[in-house]
Chain A
Amino acid sequence: MAEALQPLGRDAPKAGFPARGLLGWVPALTLATFLLPICVGLLGTWLPAFGYLPAIGGAAFSLEPWRALFASPGFERMLALTITSGFLSTAIAFCLTIWFVAACHETRLFAALRRLMTPLLAVPHVAVAIGLAFLLAPSGFFFRLAAPWLTGSEIPPDLAILPDPYGLALALGLVVKEVPFLLLITIGALDQVGAKQRLATARGLGYGPIAAWMKTVLPAVYPQIRLPVYAVLAYALSVVDMAMVLGPGTPPTLAVQILRWFNDPDLSMRFAASAGACLQLGLVVLGIALWHGFECIAIHQARAASFAGRRGGSGKVQARAAGLAMAVVVALGLGGIAVMAVWSVARRWRFPDAWPSAWSLETWSRHLDGVAISGWTTLGLGLAAAGLAVALTLGCLESEQRVGRRPTHRALWLLYLPLLVPQIAFLFGAQVLAFRLGWAGTWAAVVWSHLLFTLPYAFLALADPYRALDERLLRTARCLGASPARVFWRIKLPLLLRPVLISFAVAFSVSVAQYLPTLFIGAGRVATLTTEAVALSSGADRRVLGVYTFLQAALPLAIFALAIGLPGRLRPFGPAREAGK
């Protein structure tokens, strides 16, 4: 990158800002990095959906795949299951987040729970799902605590809790994992909309804390978090890994069934699978349109109601209730993983013992070889995908500042595209292409597939702090004779050390969590902790599962701890310290 920056310093034509150097191409390159595979992947999935895939004998277009899809057993139930779990989890996660911030924004609990959100955000979805599955299962932790004094029996109850036929456990798992994301995004938006002053104004006019927040802050915050909410909805409607752990099996959700068809030994099932993948995309588009419809109605109603000027109460009871609900979510998420870590060092843990009766490190030593291979793979992929994502993000932001153009709102939609388009809807097409080029199963291809998802998150984490840098500092440096490159390396990067590292950690945790991209683009030859954990989750030894779940959570947490701890050690003073308080 140093080479990319050097020429700019020398031949700076207009007011010190070159029109276009190597750096000027970084935004285009970044867009191409994730738009190209998605577009090609979508096309490569749509063609077989209409019967065309010569490689496996589909030479002519037909509607046969769609007929097969609609005729598949349990199709309506799959659809209903997908829609209910997707909408239910998103609506609950959204309402809980908003309710919590509105009711608790001035309580001590708010700061405490907020601090726990980062670790919960960092751990992969699958780890949370596996932990939750053990907490809730009939032979799981809660029933162990309750047996036999409450359930009156020494054997696990015969209940269809996990998986339950309605996908409620799946919805709960999604809520636990999506609330931290929505909460941190919402808190991030608060400063941008001047929430403090809005609240002070409304409180001064006699409004209670909740009414003040809902009526003056939410209308400003919602447009800022709309895209993330859509991304959550899209994810919930098309999630595969969590649904394999927590969702029902017969029939499963649509996305899981599509994956099963893609993996079917009978190659002709790929056609129905492709049609299903198209339907999945349609479902997400329709879901977002529906949510947008609700949104418009709600905004209209709220505005009319605000005219009446009702002030609302002190909200103390609601603050307690919302705080408790949020604490339960955090406890379910982090507690499940902690209990799985206990499993990894348990020798004997019989039902209904609350804790293991014998401990040992045997599981670790026996599985060390297998764990090490997938662990190193996970680490390597994560470091590469996160490093590239941060480098491209820095390139984009630096280029944006030098050219002096702010991206439009539409560009933000492009950035969110990988988070809005269901993975299952384009990965098959991307896999076909990867096989054609001979890239399938290579490291580079898998890193690229992770990059599609690490890039948007790295960008989201870094863009605001980067753009918020005091422009006068940079101008001062330029006027002291520093080239743009020197300003970048000597002023911007040191000042932004903490956000850069945090953005890296976020991207790393996103990479660790990837399941479908690793599976499809790795062509089954690349095994990460996440793919292994999913494979083990269906009925394997809980102790082994504990080892994988623990490591899966520990890796991103360790990187986060480094990202937060390092800047303070490297720099005795300055914003790195300040931001840490």
Chain B
Amino acid sequence: MTGALRLQGVSLSLVGRNLFQRLDLVAEPGQTVTVMGPSGCGKSSLLAYICGTLDRAFVATGSVLIGDSDVTGLPPERRGIGIIFQDDLLFPHLSVAENLAFGLPASLRGRKARLGRIEAALADAGLSGFGDRDPATLSGGQRARVALLRTLLSEPRALLLDEPFAKLDIGLRTRIRAFVFDHVRDYGLPALLVTHDPADAEAAAGQVITLAPAGNDDPEEAAAWTPTSPSPVRLP
């Protein structure tokens, strides 16, 4: 069991343009907080800031905590924050099992033990026997599940979801959503979801935060923007 994912007073700006200021949020273990907002408001930059891969061009202040530990100054690999993108980003030069082995910690030693763990994870996702497959031969839904498994096998302390369902067919989306949020609950992971789609937020069944359009100097467009979420938390 891990602690809550906590953002404290996070501000982000790019060449003098404020993306957002003093954002606070808490995702409890097993819960998913959803961040919504128009394109360009800095949703993806926020996720990059949390995992530590933000471009140098940004100026960021604030802190990221998991439980009681402050991970703000740590390099990405030592934060223990897994991220799932819109594109599943399975490594095309590796087989499905090798992709999963890539996520599995090195502390689990021995080829046999590692393969066993991978087979168990595949079976859990209804993908038994898929280990030797080339990721390119998998369907969109299968790839999405493998990508989540890979992240879960790396034993993260928190999970970030960057519009993970956007590229899936509508029919598939409901099933994969359930798959992801069930695992978030089962593993007791604090999760942060970034999305355009109100249905995603509904499925996540957690708090919803809406970011205002950032530094927009066209007052008409800024006024035309209305939050889409049912219970928006407007930020200054």
Contact = CB atoms under 8 A, between A and B. Distances in A.
A538 interface: no
B234 interface: no
A549 to B, nearest CB: 38
Given A208-B77, A306-B101, A307-B98, A197 B85 contact: yes
Contact of A203 (B52, B106, B150): B52
Nearest to A212: B77
A206 B105 contact: yes
A205 B151 contact: yes
Interface of A: 194, 196-209, 212, 215-216, 219-220, 303, 306-311, 314
Contacts of B98: 303, 306-307
Contacts of A198: 89, 91
A201 B83 contact: yes
Contacts of B51: 200, 203-204
B122 interface: no
B117 to A, nearest CB: 11
B104 interface: yes
A200 B48 contact: yes
Interface in B98-120: 98, 101-106, 108-109, 111, 114
Given A220-B93, A307-B114, A204 B106 contact: no
B230 interface: no
A198 B108 CA distance: 23
Given A212-B77, A303-B98, A314-B75, A205 B103 contact: yes
A343 B235 CA distance: 65
Nearest to A315: B75
Contacts of B91: 198, 216, 219
B108 to A, nearest CB: 8
B188 to A, nearest CB: 19
B89 A197 contact: yes
B76 A204 contact: yes
Which 4 interchain pairs have the tightest Cβ spacing?
A: A203-B76, A219-B93, A205-B154, A309-B106
A197 B44 CA distance: 12
Interface in B121-176: 150-151, 154, 156, 160
A208 B52 CA distance: 12
A201 B102 CA distance: 11
Given A200-B76, A303-B98, A306-B101, 18 more contacts: A194-B89, A197-B85, A201-B89, A203-B52, A203-B76, A203-B77, A204-B51, A204-B81, A204-B82, A205-B82, A205-B103, A209-B77, A215-B102, A216-B91, A220-B93, A303-B93, A309-B102, A309-B106
A241 to B, nearest CB: 39
Contact of A309 (B52, B77, B89, B104): B104
Contacts of B103: 205, 309
A351 to B, nearest CB: 47
B101 A203 contact: no
A221 B95 CA distance: 18
A194 B92 CA distance: 12
A306 B106 contact: no
A209 to B, nearest CB: 7
Contacts of B76: 200, 203-204
Contacts of B77: 202-209, 212, 311
Nearest to B75: A314
B232 interface: no
B3 interface: no
Q: Which of B87, B91, B106 has the most CB of A within 10 A?
A: B91
A206 B111 contact: no
A201 B106 contact: no
B101 A220 contact: no
B60 interface: no
B57 to A, nearest CB: 10
B8 interface: no
Contacts of A306: 94, 98, 101-102
A410 to B, nearest CB: 22
A8 B82 CA distance: 54
Nearest to A217: B91
Contacts of B89: 194, 197-198, 201
B213 interface: no
Contacts of B69: none
Contacts of A201: 83, 85, 89
Given A201-B85, A201-B89, A309 B80 contact: no
Interface in B46-98: 48, 51-53, 75-78, 80-83, 85, 87, 89, 91-94, 98
Given A197-B85, A203-B53, A212-B77, A310 B151 contact: no
